[in-house]
Amino acid sequence: MNKVKFIYNPYSGENTIIGKIDKIIKIHQKYGLTIVPYRISLGNTVEEAFEDIDNTYKYILMAGGDGTVDNIVNYMRKLDINLPIGILPTGTANDFAKFIGMPLNIEKACKQIIESEPQEIDLGKINDKYFINVASSGLFTNVSQQTDINMKNTIGKLAYYVKGIEQLPNFRKIKIKVSSKENEFDGDMILMFVFNGQTAGNFKFAYKSCANDGMLDVIIIEAGMVKNLFNILIKMIRGEHLEDVNGLTYFKTDNLKIECNDDVVTDIDGERGPDFPVEISCIKGGVKILGVKNIY
């Protein structure tokens, strides 16, 4: 068990991983580990990266953003591969990697992964797909899907905000029904998050979220609070307590159902999610992750 499968997305973030590959190999060789690289591209699917996986592999190392991590984890679940994973945050936002304490410096991140023991971390599931950080719907939630890859690579996170501002003229309330044993909501909303992590676009919304408590954090901003939307968002960005904010619902659950008849999409860490209705659940300890420094 001295091999490490290294799956990387050369288009993530600002293409920074391309200039770091030699350093990644060098660091692993220093620890007696052999890197077996696999480059994601249109002609090379993630599933093909696992064709040679056997008991000689110690873990899966991945470089990319939350969407890349989701894609890889989904294939691992599909193929019943239970190896630990290590995440090198080279995407645009890197929300989940930052949440668990991964440094942006590639050398430091590699050492943190290599010198650690795997921790069992929760995984979100929406219908038949898995997500590592957040599932969402409503205003702004399809921004990443609609943002041109060249714009992302050129101006990074600013690209998301530019695209988000473009969406404001199309603002509308959305009728949803949310059912869980902890809470029920039947009304109009403008934005909804279901977090396994804590942040979206590097804004810390789910300040109570814990990565191994077997629960997801649900945040619903009701449509009736449009006039107070800016103040609510400021509170969310600052990580202030939200329990007593009128028009905002925040609760924890391990399972919920969401029904919606409006023509809106769901988003899973910047990628298109399944159509409504959806059932979202928390898979406690669903993935083993190396290098974890923080879980809440």
pLDDT range class, residue 40, cuts 50, 70, 90:
very high
Q: What is the mean pLDDT of residues 204-220?
A: 93
| Separation of first and last alpha carbons in the chain | 31
What residue ranges in the chain does DSSP mark as E strands? 3-8, 34-39, 57-64, 85-89, 119-126, 129-131, 134-138, 174-179, 184-195, 199-200, 203-204, 216-222, 248-253, 255-259, 266-268, 271-272, 278-289
Which pLDDT band, with edges at 50, 70 and 90, does 151 fall under? very low
Beta carbons of 63 and 57 less than 8 angstroms apart: no
Residue 284 reports pLDDT greater than 70:
yes
Sketch out the chain's domains with CATH numbers: 3-123 (3.40.50.10330), 129-284 (2.60.200.40)
pLDDT in tens, 1-21: 799 999 999 988 777 899 999
Mean pLDDT of the 209-233 span = 83
Report, in angstroms and rounded to the nearest whole number, the Rg of the chain calculated over CA atoms: 19
What is each CA distance from 7 to 14, 120, 151, 199, in whole angstroms? Answer: 17, 21, 24, 24
Least confident of 54-58, 64-68, 286-290: 64-68
pLDDT for the residue 82: 97
State which amino acid sits at residue 23: K
Which pLDDT score, from 0 to 100, does residue 161 have?
42
Task: Identify any residues that bridge with 37 across adjacent strands, giving them in sequence order.
Answer: 6
Which value, to the nearest 10 degrees, does the dihedral of the CA atoms of residues 113, 116, 118, 122 take? -70
Helix axis angle, 21-30 relative to 106-114, nearest 10°? 30
Q: How far apart are CA 39 and CA 9, in angstroms?
A: 6
Handedness of CA 189, 206, 102, 292 (dihedral sign): negative
pLDDT of 149 > 60? The answer is: no
165: exposed, middle or buried (Cβ count in 10 Å: 0-12, 13-18, 19+): exposed
Please report which confidence band the pLDDT of residue 25 belongs to, taking 50, 70 and 90 as the band edges.
very high
- Residue 274: is its pLDDT beyond 60? yes
What was the pLDDT predicted at 244?
67
pLDDT of residue 245: 74
**pLDDT value at 202 more than 60:** yes
Spatial contact of 68 and 40, defined as CB atoms under 8 Å apart:
yes
Q: What is the pLDDT of residues 65-92, one digit of tens each?
A: 999 999 999 999 999 999 999 999 998 8
Q: What is the torsion angle, in degrees rounded to the nearest 10, for the CA atoms of residue 111, residue 59, residue 122 and residue 152?
A: 70
For residue 194, count other CB atoms closer than 10 A to its CB: 27
230/99: higher pLDDT: 99
Q: Say yes or no to pLDDT of 201 above 90.
A: no
Alpha carbons 155 and 191: distance in angstroms, whole number: 25
